Amino acid sequence: MKIGLFGGTFDPIHWGHLRSTEEVREAFGLDRILFVPAANPPHRIAQPAAPARDRLEMVRLAIAKNPGFGLSTVEISRPGKSYSIDTLRYFVRKRSANDILYFILGLDAFRDIGSWKDFDEIFPLCHFIVTSRAGCEEPMSLRGMPVAVRRLFCYDPDKKVYRHQSGTFLYFNKITDIGISASGIRRLLKEGKSIRYLVPFEVGAYIKKRGLYQRRRGGR
C-alpha cells in the first residue's frame, strides 16, 4: 500500500486541506491518506483555538465520504508536543513490509522544516511530497531552504525529483490554488461572518452547534 500522512492543526479543517490531499492522492496513486491532527503543535505560539476532540471530530466529518481518506489519533493520544519525528517513527514501526510512506505538507510548512526537532532524521524515514500553497510565492524547489537541509539532497534530473542521501525522494507538486486558511476562517467567525463554502457543510454545522471560534463574551 502507498500511504500518505497529512499532519496539521486542522483548526478547523477546510476545503484547501481536502482538495490538496485529493490531488496528491490521485497524482501519486496513493491508496490511502491518513489525516493526523496535532494535539499540541510545537510551532504555534498560541495553542489551537478549538479543543483536540472538536478538531478531531471535524476531520472525521469532513473525510467521512472519501474511502481514500482516514484519520489517525496518534498525535492526539500522545502526551506532550506533537513532533513529526515521533509520529513518523510510529508509522514506520507500524507499517507492513510492502507499505510505502509519504509525508505530505504544504510549501509554507516545508519552509520551516529546518527548525523541526531532529529534522535531519526525518528524511530517511519516508518520501516527502511538498504541495504549492496559494499566497506562498517561493519557488517549488530547495532554493531558499537552509543549507543544512539543501546539502542532504541531490537533484535527479531523470526522475525530476530530489533524492535524499538515504535514498528517499522529495517531490514538489503543484496543486490548484485555493486561498483558504484556518486562521482566515477563525477570523471570519470572530467577526460573526459567514464561512459557508470555505468548509464542508457538516463542519460548518458542527462549528455552529458547538459555538467554536466565537468571540468570548467580555474577553479576547
Q: By C-beta, is 103 or 162 nearer to ligand ATP?
A: 103
Q: Which residues bind ligand ATP (CB under 6 A)?
A: 8-11, 16-17, 20, 105-106, 108-109, 131, 133-134, 178, 180-183
Residues 6+ apart with CB under 8 A from 190: 213, 214, 215
What is the smallest separation between the CB atom of 90 and ligand ATP, expressed in angstroms? 18
CB of 176 to ligand ATP, least distance (A): 8
Q: Are strands 32-37 and 69-71 parallel, antiparallel or unpaired?
A: parallel
Determine the Cα–Cα distance for residues 3 and 99; give it in Å rounded to an integer: 7
Q: How many whole angstroms separate alpha carbon 160 and alpha carbon 89?
A: 27
For ligand ATP, which is the closer residue by CB, 72 or 131? Answer: 131
Peptide linkage before 12 cis (omega within 30 of 0) = yes
Query: In this complex, which beta carbon is closest to ligand ATP, that of residue 88 or of residue 158?
Result: 88
163/173 with CB nearer ligand ATP: 173
- The minimum distance between CB 11 and ligand ATP, in angstroms, equals 6
The residues that bridge with 173 in the sheet, in sequence order, are 131
